[in-house]
Structure 1
């Protein structure tokens, strides 16, 4: 079994070897730009780990892993446009650097290329892979729309938020694992537990992102601290804060959160701290990671085959960016 570092080197080398040299050049420049930005490559890494878990050599899974990474970056380009985000991974977002219209087109082209790479899988496996991939794409779109709906809906509950990130964020992590496993001969029970593992992992991953946006260090985040607060985004932190506050305090907090005051971020963060969200949200995240572990344990393969994934989850639990 390969270590995560070895698999990441395979992924990076493969991505760097891919050429998008068609014309017009300015349509494809965003491909190189966003793929060259610092990235964890978590999703393609999960594809390779799942494939190897079931006996598929990682190199044979690289085209499918690339499809997933291209799809992920397509969603980032379009999400940044919808969120009016200026920074991604410490650099200007694609639409800020290349213009909004080009960013939309480049994202669309990246999605089409994702399907091209998916077609490189063995022919008999392509229909099942396409179904998994398409189901995920619909989930992500539904999750993004729910996220945008939340902007004008004050009655969002924590359970609504978990449902949304289960679609928008967790679906692609679960799909990355499922696609990798589908390249091997996998019983349905193992496939379902692996998918459930990915979903719980994805939810935990997004909750940790929410936590880091508020409590992480700016120089490690690669983006603006408190960006979610400035954008008035409904995250697990504000929803938990409202849930844990009395009616009067909740009304005051909503008013503050939806204001545009100069010291808004610092004031909101002090409120979060006073409610104890720094610690209580971390406990919620840890529980999600434990739930993910439970499903991974139920995947019926030798423990050594699961070791790289277990190690990766350990790293994600402790990440600070």
Structure 2
């Protein structure tokens, strides 16, 4: 690879202004949709920055799509910090949010503060944390915001609790369950969350929650009438080969291009069309090459025929 520094992809012609929480709230008031996308490393962070995402989320979905774990619950705080630092090197203008891994905020509010402080302090430029839960975590959200740590909530389907929920199931389909989603969202907002992800709920319920809340809602599997949308990078790019959820739309087919590229490379190596002498190799001056062979011959090190 080149030793020269990588150039940012061509995106906006004008330098971007930093996205702030105040800007996100203004976007909700003006009904301007908010775009949030996950990122897990420097290239994906750079893409979010260059192509005008409003929020970059270092999602705990990196457990599956980057690290090969079976679920998000296997992810550690140290692993999350490693990826946060990489994303932060590329993502500058979007608000940078990090998921708090399973187990880092469940024991006590003070435990959550310690974990969140590490994410902000050691995660380079992480500006806010996201945690899953409703009314039962309102005290934790309140404590985090009291010490100045911005919190994004997450209600509806909570992937870190997929075992307790008997799988990745749509939430709020019955009236009583829908009421619980609303209560959870209101409780998290009241505790100080600046925005709330609403995952896998009926679109009518997501619209109702969005209208009830004063903070932005970010939908995923929640229909078109939330304040914004979030998807996992690998779902957007078509690189994830696992289950495709109903709410996912693949906006690119990078997986097919990767397959094409690897297979073409393999075949070119095997048929010796790559690398070619003319296009991909460095040459020695013919005179210097002859002198080299003469030196080798004098030393008795000439090439031996096999």
Is the TM value for this pair above 0.5? no
With structure 2 as the length reference, what TM-score do the two structures score?
0.27
If asked which structure has higher relative contact order (CA below 8 Å, sep 6+), I would say: 1
With structure 1 as the length reference, what TM-score do the two structures score?
0.26
> Which has the higher Rg, Structure 1 or Structure 2?
2
More helix by share: 1
More strand by share: 2
